Chain A
Amino acid sequence: MPLLKNGTVSEDRWTSAADDAALPADGPVLISHARWLTERAALETRNAPLGIRLPNTVDILDFGPEAGRFGLIVLEFPKFSDGRAYSQARLLRERFGYQGELRATGNILRDQLWHMHRSGFDAFELAHPDAAAALAGALGDFSAVYQPAADGRPTALQLRLQKLRKPEAAE
């Protein structure tokens, strides 16, 4: 499935490891949350980037303090209508300051990319004939936002207040 990163179709440099597979000595590896919980001690000694795949039932208030250990966090959308990972994403970015790659996987439709991007995702596994164009189109659908989110865009309210405080500068 094409991986979209920074707006373009990119090569996935992460190797996804099955729970029972031996991990390569180096190179970025993506593991499951379950494996992290059971093999944590061994995994912590490994001297190469680690990525983790979180089911959308994981409480980020528990996981969040450890987020900084990972270079990639993959969040799941088992159905497009299951929106739990939006909250997980915002908590990781806004509450726990996670800076690494935040990737959306699963049943992802073009018209959800805007929500995902605002919630802090910067990478998307998107089954679409022209994924990059779909993403660019989706992110361009709206030119303003009403609520603060992980993308840090100024909200309508903030822009109005700016104008109110400095009427001439806002023109």
Chain B
Amino acid sequence: MYQYDDIDQTLVDERVAQFRGQVARRLSGALSEDEFKPLRLQNGLYLQLHAYMLRIAIPYGVLSSRQLRALSQIACRYDRGWGHFTTRQNLQFNWIKLEESADALADLAKVQMHAIQTSGNTIRNTTTDQFAGAAHDEIEDPRVWCEIIRQWSTFHPEFSFLPRKFKIAVTGSPNDRAAVRVHDIGLRMHRNAAGETGFEVIVGGGLGRTPFIGKTIRDFLPKQHLLSYLEAILRVYNQFGRRDNLYKARIKILVHEIGIEAMREKVEAEWLASRDGALRLPREAIDQIAAHFAPPPFEALPAGIAPAYAEAFRRDFEFGLWARRNTAKHKQPGYSIVTVSLKKEGAPPGDASAEQMAAVADIADRYSFGEIRVTHEQNLVLPHIRQADLPAVHKALKAYDLATPNAGLASDIIACPGLDYCALANARSIPIAQQIALRFRNWERAHDIGELKIKISGCINACGHHHVGHIGILGVDKAGEEFYQLTLGGSADENATLGDILGPALNADQAVDAIDTLVETYLRLRSSSEERFLDTYRRVGLAPFKEAVYAAA
């Protein structure tokens, strides 16, 4: 994991001091709320429906056990004993007092954490594959590049007042778990014909009220040029992105309006003029960052299934269910990647109590080299578990309600905070997610249904990524009543697609029933149990699903 040096630590400490001064100026009245707002937002402090919300950056979703323990303590000291993991691989506390916000940031700084640029029209936290450094299909560890981007984008003097927020995602695997095609910039590592690794650069993807799949602006970017190329894109966007209309200010609109060819021309011209300047990354600099992400001291274990694991799989049905869904193949023989579900049926997706955070930190120390990841699907990951330890890990997680065997299943729902917390929402998301999850708590049925990504947003801003859900649910307001519009066939992976609207919006009860109907329709139509919901939808199209839902209504 990346460890701060003196420079990193000094900057984060200075940021806390600066913010403390800003809060003092606000409390004394020297700053108006209008003047204070952009400052607090650049430190992740939002004013929500009931209180201030503090969004803490978890750079590219990587946490040490020490950091997770600190988050657990902050949840107790400054909040109400729990936190909410977000689709940006960040953590939000919902009940922060303005007077204590600088103290919370000071506590974070002690464990090399911060809330810098988790809001505002800045370059936000870069996200990546939650399996980075462990994935069997990885070409190169994307965390190295995320850290390089983190440093370059932090307090960027030119790009702190962009037309709108800016999100970058990186994948080091051909199987995209980081949704790079629906980001302002997506970076996909791949090898060129000469065998060198570099980036496919994708620009102008995004969800929100005008969703777009990103377009490739450059097929292959040599690694040493990454920062100059990013700076060229940002410079074009900062100057030419729309500022007249908040809803048309993201880079996707610029790319859409001028076209990818014109965008490419501008960016490449800018890049040619700057690429051999101070942003060019010397090999030693890359190596220096990469050294932080050296693999942990794995044991040399035989390939194949560890006997203790196979034995537990046979004997313990519950363990078998969990292992089947919540473990993934590791690149190191004898190890597995474990997904810790924060989606216990009936609980708000992505929420974790202080006790749960502390428990995961302890389990990580004991079994996963002290490493934890946060996923954009609002779960946690223990990246390096010896297969022989899986039964013990399962047992330890289960004691804290963290062993729900539903990774990737219908009840592993992404949901935004919705009208329960958010000032922008039109409708509640969490109760819908809870009700749907309760419908799929028969694990035999849920496992038979298989992979099904349901994503819920409480408004058109699409924080719950509904456009790329296999089933997407969008909360809308109809004359003061909450309604839900369903979409089908979205996907955020390497074959990203936006979902198609099923039909007229439904009320909450109808929407939850409709999910059941859609699933039953899928089970009836699928060619085999191997064919996922998404595959069946792509094969048969919208019509049979639409008929099933609206004929019943």
Contact = CB atoms under 8 A, between A and B. Distances in A.
B121 interface: yes
Nearest to B148: A157
A76 B18 CA distance: 26
A18 interface: no
Given A86-B158, A95-B273, A144-B11, A161 B282 contact: yes
Contacts of B288: 160-161, 164
A10 to B, nearest CB: 23
A97 interface: no
Interface string B230-253: 000001001100010000000000
Interface centre among B17, B156, B282, B284 (most CB of A within 10 A): B156
Interface stretch (A1-9, A26-34, A35-43, A107-115): A107-115
Contacts of A112: 161
Q: Chain A interface mostly helix, strand, loop or mixed?
A: helix
A157 B151 contact: yes
Given A82-B243, A148-B278, A160 B155 contact: no
Interface in A46-75: 59, 61
Contacts of B210: none
A114 to B, nearest CB: 7
B161 A90 contact: no
B161 A81 contact: yes
Interface in B1-52: 5, 7-8, 10-11, 14-15, 17-18, 22, 35, 38-39
A106 interface: no
Contact of B14 (A109, A118, A142, A157): A142
Given A81-B161, A142-B155, A155 B39 contact: no
A159 interface: yes
Given A141-B18, A148-B278, A164 B158 contact: no
A116 B269 CA distance: 25
B162 interface: yes
Interface residues of A, number: 40
A128 to B, nearest CB: 10
B121 A81 contact: yes
B216 interface: no
B260 to A, nearest CB: 20
B159 A83 contact: yes
B197 interface: no
A115 B160 contact: yes
A156 B7 contact: yes
Interface in A128-169: 141-149, 155-161, 164-165
Interface string A83-95: 1101110110011
Given A87-B158, A141-B14, A156-B151, A161 B285 contact: yes
A155 B278 contact: yes
B18 to A, nearest CB: 5
A84 B235 CA distance: 9
Contact of A109 (B11, B15, B35, B159): B35
A83 B161 contact: yes
B152 interface: yes
Contact of A119 (B38, B151, B154, B157): B157
A88 B235 CA distance: 9
Contacts of A160: 5, 7, 285, 288
B279 interface: yes
A146 B161 contact: no
A80 B154 contact: no
B277 interface: yes
Given A80-B38, A160-B285, A114 B7 contact: no
Contacts of B156: 146-147
Contacts of B243: 82, 84
A102 B264 CA distance: 30
Interface centre among B7, B157, B269, B274 (most CB of A within 10 A): B157
Contact of A143 (B10, B35, B277): B10
A112 B156 CA distance: 12
Given A81-B121, A82-B243, A161-B288, A144 B7 contact: yes
Given A111-B22, A161-B285, A80 B161 contact: yes
Interface in B105-142: 121
B239 A148 contact: no
Nearest to A109: B35
A91 B157 CA distance: 13
A82 B161 contact: yes
Given A80-B161, A90-B158, A159 B235 contact: no
A148 B156 CA distance: 9
A165 B282 CA distance: 12
Contact of A86 (B17, B151, B161, B269): B161
B34 to A, nearest CB: 10
Nearest to B160: A115
B277 A156 contact: no
A87 B239 contact: yes
Nearest to A82: B243
A35 B137 CA distance: 61
A144 B4 CA distance: 14
Contacts of A155: 278
Contacts of A158: 278
A142 B157 CA distance: 12
Given A81-B121, A111-B22, A86 B238 contact: yes
B7 A159 contact: yes
Contacts of A164: 284, 288
Interface centre among B38, B154, B155, B162 (most CB of A within 10 A): B155
Nearest to B122: A83
Contacts of B8: 156
B284 to A, nearest CB: 6
Contacts of A87: 158, 235, 238-239
B208 to A, nearest CB: 19
Interface centre among B35, B243, B273 (most CB of A within 10 A): B243
A89 to B, nearest CB: 8
Interface string B466-490: 0000000000000000000000000
Interface of A: 59, 61, 80-84, 86-88, 90-91, 94-95, 109, 111-112, 114-116, 118-119, 141-149, 155-161, 164-165
23 contacts: A61-B269, A82-B243, A83-B159, A83-B162, A86-B158, A87-B239, A91-B235, A95-B273, A109-B35, A115-B160, A116-B157, A119-B157, A142-B11, A142-B15, A143-B10, A144-B11, A146-B151, A146-B152, A149-B157, A156-B8, A156-B151, A157-B285, A160-B285
